[in-house]
Amino acid sequence: MGRHAHRFQETNDMSDIEKKTSSADPVAGSRRQFLKTAGIGGAALAASTTFAAPAVHAQSKIRWRLQTYSGAPLGAHVIKPQIEAFNAAANGEMEIELYYADQLVPTAELFRALQNGTIDAVQSDDATMASPADVAVFGGYFPFSCRFSLDLPVLFQRYGLNEIWKEAYDEIDGVEWLSAGAWDPLHVFTKEPIRSLADMRGKRVFGVPTAGKFLSRYGLIPVTVPWDDVEVAIQTGQLDGVAWCGFTEAYEVGWADVCNYALTNNICGAWCGSYFANSKSWEKVPPHLKQLFLTTIDQSHYYRQVWYWGGEADLRVNGKKMELTSIPREEWSQVEKDAEQFWDEIAATSPRAGKVVKILKDYSALMEKAGFPYR
């Protein structure tokens, strides 16, 4: 019958013996029954008590507060999609609360608030947030440093600015620089027209620091007010316009409704903005969530490239809210020459600034030699 049949027979024989023993010896039979019961119940008991695995407590969700330089209407494009994408992909492990311009702290105090941990992360340009880094002057709009928005990420990724920015912020306690990207070009929008450099004189504009400092040599007066107050300040005459953004933002946030004229001569082809994190907050984030945050930042950079590039062209052609004006080429060439002098002045402020200016000069010269479609 084979081995299996023999084993089956042995089992049957054993059952007969147990039955006889159980009948003849009630104590032995009870003991045997107890052992059988204990074997079942004891295993369950051991699983639930003595040999149970230690309780696993879920790690508490990481919560960040991030404030952007932008108000809510613009923030709906320049950062909100990224934060929503990150929160969804983080799968409950981490959540970022998004705050817009001046909601937690004034924009000019963003760096200090980030450094002391009042907020966990910031999206802003270096200059507007009052960064003490010696590269901060290049944040926002550095006059004529870019012709197109694609110039900026190329400068960071292929010409060494990534390494320079990281080096600069590694020297500052409490803050991590994470990534830079391009926004819109810089134009001047005003209630009264600008058709010459002389027309700039005395006009009070809401402006970014570096470009404002440069344009002040032509009589433009940069004025700082809370972002949400800009539209009312123009309506009431406290401001004559803005030198802060391109056409897309001016239309998106309502400034095109209170300005009558748009100067087509732009001072810079792209705004340079970055993401920063508080060092202690960043250290607490596990590697996979760090990578997720950086990946969604890249996604945001790409979104803005497309949104601004298409928006600027469309609104210059089809936008009807502002009349276009231009400063004659012969006058504007003087502004470009003045920018070269401005670059040299900035280069002299520190070795690192000098290194950045050299990169900008080398890149600009290469693009000019490359010609169409680069220049």
Q: Name the one residue in this structure whose structure tokens are 């970022």.
A: 96
Report d(CA 142, CA 343) in Å as an integer. 9
**pLDDT at residue number 17:** 36
Whole-model pTM?
0.83
Q: Where are the domains of the chain?
A: 62-182+271-319
Q: What is the pLDDT of residues 207-218, one digit of tens each?
A: 989 999 999 999
**pLDDT at residue number 11:** 40
In CATH, which of 3.40.630.10, 3.40.190.170, 3.30.470.20, 3.30.750.24 is domain 62-182+271-319?
A: 3.40.190.170
Query: Cβ contacts of residue 99 below 8 Å, gap of 6+?
Result: 65, 66, 67, 68, 119
Closest C-alpha among 187, 180, 211, 154 to residue 374: 154
CB-CB contact of 70 with 79 (8 Å): yes
| Identity of residue 224 | T
- Asked, as a colleague might, if the bond just before 73 is cis with ω within 30 of 0, I would say no
Structure tokens at 25: 């010896």
**pLDDT at residue number 208:** 87
**pLDDT at residue number 58:** 54
CA of 9: how far to CAs of 1, 4, 6, 18, in Å? 10, 9, 5, 14
Q: With a cut of 70, list the residues of the chain below it in pLDDT.
A: 1-59
CB neighbours of residue 144 within 10 Å: 20
Q: Name the one residue in this structure whose structure tokens are 């082809």.
A: 269
CB-CB contact of 124 with 99 (8 Å): no
* SS3 category, 57: coil
**pLDDT at residue number 27:** 38
